[in-house]
Amino acid sequence: MLLKFTKMHGLGNDFVVVDAVSRKVYFNKAQIERLGDRNRGIGFDQLLVVEPPSNPDMDFRYRIYNCDGSEVEHCGNGARCFAKFVLDRELTHKRQINVETKRGQMQLNVLDNGHVQVDMGEPSFQPADLPFLADAMQALYQVQANGETVELTPVSVGNPHAVIRVEELNDELVHSIGPAVESHDAFPNNVNVGFMQVVTRGEVNLRVYERGVGETQACGTGACAAVVAGIKQGWLDADVLVHLPGGDLRIAWQGPSTPIIMTGAAEKVFEGQIYL
């Protein structure tokens, strides 16, 4: 099969996006792994597959696969790229787009400056929603990782995150503690791990070790998780600028029973085709 694709990125978090609306496309795990190989394939953090909706009230459905072939529930940077893709390909002319994902429904708004604002839904701090194995609800939890005691805030934003506040960010911390927490027994389905340095009450630096991928240039759900965790802990205000290695995101959350609003850019890199 000759597969047409578009390579995109959201702040360096890179994607291959495939139109499965105009033509039926199916992938198996081996094909996704091959496409995701940066030496023998195209290379990406996630594969995004655009499909017709199953719900008539929705405009599209989209599925998200890590480069290891695992399907995930949610991807903020991918959602912004998705919105740009369907407009660029003229699959829709709407600037307010309603989308189904494995996690549920979401609304994407394309702004006049080309940035995309995403309603990411409400976060949950309930351990069972990640899941995270805990005896009782706590403000902060402690786990042992690489012989160290690590304090973290578990939060679900449609996919599971563990947010760790640090005084400074460095490679050794991210690449030693990151994988140890990602696969910790307390997270039966593994977890995305965010390392957040608070600069001011309205500004943070963030690096994210993503489940099934490793560290990425940017993680939209990771930015959402870090900000809502910081707000819950009393460290941050309701509107925060998040600096990631690949660029900046604006995250706003007004508190319980309200959705997280994420705003940022999405870019097309190139279009191509490859035989599967």
The model's pLDDT over 78-118, given as tens digits with 9 standing for 90+, comes to 999 999 999 999 999 999 999 998 878 889 999 999 999 99
Q: What is the pTM of this model?
A: 0.89
Check whether 98 is labelled as a binding-site residue. no
Q: What is the mean pLDDT of residues 135-145?
A: 93
* C-alpha–C-alpha distance, residues 148 and 169, integer Å: 16
Residue 76 annotated in ligand binding = yes
State the average pLDDT over residues 128-147.
94
Q: Which residues are catalytic?
A: 75, 219
Model pLDDT, residue 75: 86
CB 75 within 8 A of CB 57: no
Percentage of residues in the chain having pLDDT higher than 70: 100
Is residue 13 part of an annotated ligand binding site? yes
Position 240 pLDDT exceeds 80:
yes
Q: Which two tokens stand for residue 233?
A: 């802990």
Would you say domain 127-258 falls under CATH 3.10.310.10?
yes
**What are the backbone dihedrals phi and psi of residue 111, each rounded to the nearest 5 degrees, phi first?**
-85, 165
C-alpha to C-alpha distance for 251 and 223, rounded to whole angstroms: 7
State pLDDT tens for residues 192-234.
999 999 999 999 999 999 998 899 899 999 999 999 999 999 9
pLDDT (0 to 100) of residue 104: 83
- What CATH topology corresponds to 2-121+265-275? Diaminopimelate Epimerase; Chain A, domain 1 (3.10.310)
Ligand-binding site membership of 63 (annotated): no
In the predicted model, what is the mean pLDDT of residues 148-167?
Answer: 96
pLDDT at residue 5 tops 90: yes
Is there a binding annotation on residue 159?
yes
* 58-71 residue pLDDT tens: 999 989 999 999 99
Asked if residues 213 and 222 have their Cβ atoms less than 8 Å apart, the reply is no
Shortest CA distance to 218 belongs to which of 190, 252, 243?
243
Q: Quote the percentage of the chain above a pLDDT of 90.
A: 89
* Residue-by-residue DSSP string for 195-248: EEEEEETTEEEEEEEETTTEEES--HHHHHHHHHHHHHTTSS-SEEEEEETTEE
Are both 2-121+265-275 and 127-258 of the same fold? Answer: yes
pLDDT top residue among 135 and 149:
149
- Looking at every residue in the chain, the average pLDDT score rounds to 95
Above 90 in pLDDT, residue 175? yes
| In the chain, where the domains are located | 2-121+265-275, 127-258
